Amino acid sequence: MGLAHLRPDGFVSVRAGRREGYLTTKPFRWPGGMLQVNYRLLGGNQWRYTDVSASDGWVGLELLAVAGDVIPGYSRNESDPLYHDALAAEPTWSGKPQDLDPIIGKTVRLRFCIGSAELYSFRSTATG
């Protein structure tokens, strides 16, 4: 008999190597709450928060309007990269606490920008 352990939502992932990859979601209505991301890095910095090199993994995030335009304040350049493995990381932009209240009830898309990482899932804390 054997026992397998999978991370939550860890059965399927989207993987990017050293060259940055992108995944854009279908449009959906943002229900509110905090955005949480489940991902795993493939680089060497899974447990460090500083001294990140270009070969280490990262996850960045953009918020887009339905047409694909970046919502001001939520661009890739303003996204604070996620540099450590997490089951429920809460992304931030420009070093500020996450505030998605302006988009509650609006139809949006998410664009994940990932390098040397596997993206498993994302969710809103409002939806459990």
Give 70's strand partners: 64
CB 9 within 8 A of CB 120: yes
Domain ranges for the chain: 14-48+55-127
CB atoms within 10 A of CB 3: 4
Looking at residue 55, what is its pLDDT? Answer: 53
Residue given tokens 């089951």 in the structure block: 87
Looking at residue 127, what is its pLDDT? Answer: 62
Residue given tokens 């993994």 in the structure block: 57
Looking at residue 65, what is its pLDDT? Answer: 97
**Cα 72 from Cα 65, distance rounded (Å):** 10
E strands within the chain?
A: 14-16, 21-24, 28-29, 35-41, 58-65, 86-89, 107-115, 117-124
Using CB atoms within 10 A of its CB, is residue 123 exposed (0-12), middle (13-18) or buried (19+)? middle
Tokens of 88: 């429920």
| pLDDT tens column, 5-58 | 667 777 778 888 888 899 999 999 999 999 999 999 986 555 444 554 545 788
| pLDDT tens column, 65-111 | 999 999 999 999 999 999 888 999 999 999 999 999 999 999 999 99
What CATH code is assigned to 14-48+55-127? Answer: 2.60.290
Looking at residue 51, what is its pLDDT? Answer: 52
The pTM score is: 0.84
Residues in the chain: 128
**Which distant-in-sequence residues (6+ apart) come within 8 Å of 113 by Cβ?**
20, 21, 22, 59, 60, 61, 62, 76, 79
Looking at residue 54, what is its pLDDT? Answer: 47
